[in-house]
Amino acid sequence: MSWRPNFGRLWRDREFVTFWSAQTISEFGDRISELAMPLIAVTLLDATPFEVGLLTAAVWLPNLVSLFIGSWVDQQRNKRRLMIAADLFRLLVLLSLPIAYWLDALTLYQLYAIALLTGTAHAVFNTAYAAFFVRLVARQDYLEANSKLSATRSLSFMAGPAVGGILVQLLTAPLAVLVDALSFVISALQIGRLEVETPPPEESDAPLLRRAGEGMRYLLTHPYLGSSLGCATTVNFFNFMGSALLILYASRYLELSAGVIGLALGIGATGGLLGAILATPLARWLGVGRLIAIATVVFPAAMAGVAFASGPFWLRTVEFAAAEFVATFSVMCFDIPLGALQTSVTSESMRSRVSGAFITINYGVRPFGAVLGGVLGALIGPRETLLVSAVGGIFAVLWLLRSPILKVRSIEALQAEINSEAAVRPS
């Protein structure tokens, strides 16, 4: 089978290009707010490290109820309008920040509220997107579309913080948030131009809690989805144990300056861009399941590369940047094919509920992993914690060894197998 994808087809698809442009602008806007919000807390409101930690937690907290958000979204008839509403809601919430700044009324509590509300809207957008995406592109383009969207996200992590830093310097942090607010206007207008409509939801009188439970059971008992959830959650938990201490370790133990750390992280982020570009051809060459398994091992192992960095200053810098490059490259080779596989095997009527349940567990473990990393760092040391993070993350591959995921050669072959089984299954 040829591994060469048709790179040009999606760029000729007006619907996809319109949505891609909306996401590109929104992603860059998000990077600005991710930089500006903590700076506002620290520089303008004299927030303590604990208070800044609470601000970060507030951003992730809505993911813990994504299961119920997804169940509610599944019952909404028009997912496209819901995504537009989520964008416009985030616009209004973010506009409150510079207004409060101008009125000299900005408080930490407002920042917490903004983080919670925008995080909730983000969860609504993402769960609606799960049902929207399958109508946006053809099934054979799932991998390629995910690659292009992931490449954009990687590029935003490379350039977004630099752009955000310049804007903060020129405009102040509260005014820089206006750029992110305006990005949601553009995103909403672009999505509004799309003619993609999702099918109407199945009629159901079941209460929200029951529907949420159905989504969770479907996810946990599905042969492909259950294994993918276990693998991704294990990787995320241990990764956040290490990433919580990454900057501290680079600064205090590798003795790298803030500027050098930022440069190394930017160089490392290019691995994500390269991974997003190459994930599709690699999946076609190695097979989807094999690529996911390889990336599952390589991604956390990169954390050990940071722990073992040593030698002169220039070598420590290179080793740190190289470890980040390998990590971001492999995470794209993990996320893109796994996302395409999950999209392919999920029932139409369950997409938003499954997406919500997956986010609830997979994202919900991240703050707990970060807290445990901090505790272990204090008890056994940062270097040892990074090694625990690497080894623990590698064990995530065990979820795949007895899973049908490992045998998946291509998304097309998987779908043909699913269709064949459905054809012979008694009604």
Quick one: pLDDT at residue 205? 56
Quick one: pLDDT at residue 421? 61
Quick one: pLDDT at residue 172? 78
| 3-state secondary structure at position 226 | helix
Assigned superfamily of 206-427 = MFS general substrate transporter like domains (1.20.1250.20)
Asked if domains 1-139+161-191 and 206-427 share a fold, the reply is yes
- CA dihedral 189→191→194→195, nearest 10 degrees, is -110
What is the number of alpha carbons within 13 Å of residue 227 lying toward its C-beta? 20
What are residue 408's phi and psi, to 5 degrees? Answer: -70, 120
| 3-state secondary structure at position 162 | helix
- Fold assignment, 1-139+161-191: Growth Hormone; Chain: A; (1.20.1250)
Quick one: pLDDT at residue 1? 38
Kindly state the tokens that stand for 40: 């506002």
Quick one: pLDDT at residue 422? 54
Quick one: pLDDT at residue 214? 82
**CA 257, CA 426: separation in Å to the nearest integer?**
65
Give the pLDDT of the chain (427 residues) as one tens digit per residue: 334 444 467 787 788 889 888 888 888 888 778 777 877 877 788 876 567 667 767 777 787 777 778 778 877 778 888 999 999 999 999 999 999 999 988 898 999 899 899 989 988 888 888 778 877 887 777 778 877 887 787 777 667 666 776 777 777 778 888 888 999 999 999 998 887 766 666 555 566 677 778 888 989 899 899 999 999 999 999 988 887 677 778 877 888 876 677 678 778 888 888 998 899 899 999 999 999 999 999 999 998 988 898 889 889 989 999 998 999 899 999 998 998 898 888 887 787 788 778 888 888 887 788 778 878 888 888 889 899 999 999 999 999 998 999 988 888 888 777 776 655 555 4
Domain boundaries, the chain: 1-139+161-191, 206-427
Cα 54 to Cα 32, 113, 119, 256, 340, distances in angstroms: 19, 11, 14, 27, 34
Cα 144 to Cα 16, 268, 285, distances in angstroms: 11, 23, 14
For residue 389, count other CB atoms closer than 10 A to its CB.
Answer: 29
Give, to the nearest 10 degrees, the angle between helix 288-307 and helix 225-252.
20
Q: Which residues of 218-256 are buried (b: 16+ CB within 10 A; e: fewer)?
A: bbeebebbebbbbbbbbbbbbbbbbbbbbeebbeebbeb
Tokens 């509590």 belong to 109
**CA 194, CA 81: separation in Å to the nearest integer?**
10
Instruction: State the Cα angle at 23 between 17 and 29, rounded to 5°.
Output: 140
DSSP annotation string for 54-86: HHHHHHHGGGGGHHHHHHHHHT-S-HHHHHHHH
Kindly state the tokens that stand for 76: 């909404």
Tokens 């996302």 belong to 339
Quick one: pLDDT at residue 3? 40
pTM over 0.85: no
**CA 273, CA 250: separation in Å to the nearest integer?**
23
For residue 409, count other CB atoms closer than 10 A to its CB.
Answer: 15
Quick one: pLDDT at residue 234? 95
